[in-house]
Amino acid sequence: MKHLSALTLFCLIALAISSLNPFDRTTWWLEVAPVLIALPMLWATRRRFPLTPLLYACIGLHALVLIVGGTYSYARVPFGFELQSWLDLSRNPYDKIGHFAQGFIPALVAREILLRGGYVQGRKMLAFVVVCIVLAISASYELIEWAAALALGQGADEFLGTQGDPWDTQSDMAFALLGALAALLTLARWQDRQIARLAAPRRG
């Protein structure tokens, strides 16, 4: 409970600060919507399915990426301009950080649900299913962006953040795939240990 409370406080403070003067109010709502949806869901399921501390921390980082992107719009995030300068890129790459996170954190979420529910047997099959879920989430998000573009017309430019890249959709999904693979390679065993502690009966 303490980890969820800390995550909620962190997100609420970040949301409050970012809502004061975002670059575009409509874009802000669209970008922070996943945070506003996820927090109530985490509280609603906290007793029957509490998450590992690692996952709560990762969700907090993902929320921050989304909130910062909503505050400035992804194409205008100052840190992205710094990266663009350091790496001599042609565009602000902050949206790619967002899509990498869109693969990294959902991979851990999917992995934890599948492991604890016993839905998949074998580490290789688990990794395969997790990657498939991440790619499905990424594709779904791209469909949402497409729907927003149709609904909002020119007003969707800030939300889409393509910056004139005709391959933006494909590269977004590629970064989500890289994020999923990075999560599986770096944090899987750490997550396993925390899941084991979570499942262990409490003494006293």
For the chain, first and last CA: distance in Å?
A: 18
Give the residue with greater pLDDT, 26 vs 43: 43
- Domain ranges for the chain: 2-198
| Confidence at 46, pLDDT banded by 50, 70, 90 | very high
What integer is the mean pLDDT of 171-192?
A: 96
Q: What is the pLDDT of residues 18-39, one digit of tens each?
A: 999 998 888 899 889 999 999 9
Confidence at residue 151, expressed as pLDDT on a 0 to 100 scale: 72
Handedness of CA 68, 179, 36, 116 (dihedral sign): negative
* CA angle in degrees (0–180, nearest 5) for 94-84-166: 65
Q: Judge whether residue 110 has pLDDT over 90.
A: yes
Q: Side chain identity at 59, as an amino acid letter?
A: I
| Confidence at 204, pLDDT banded by 50, 70, 90 | very low
What integer is the mean pLDDT of 136-163?
A: 71
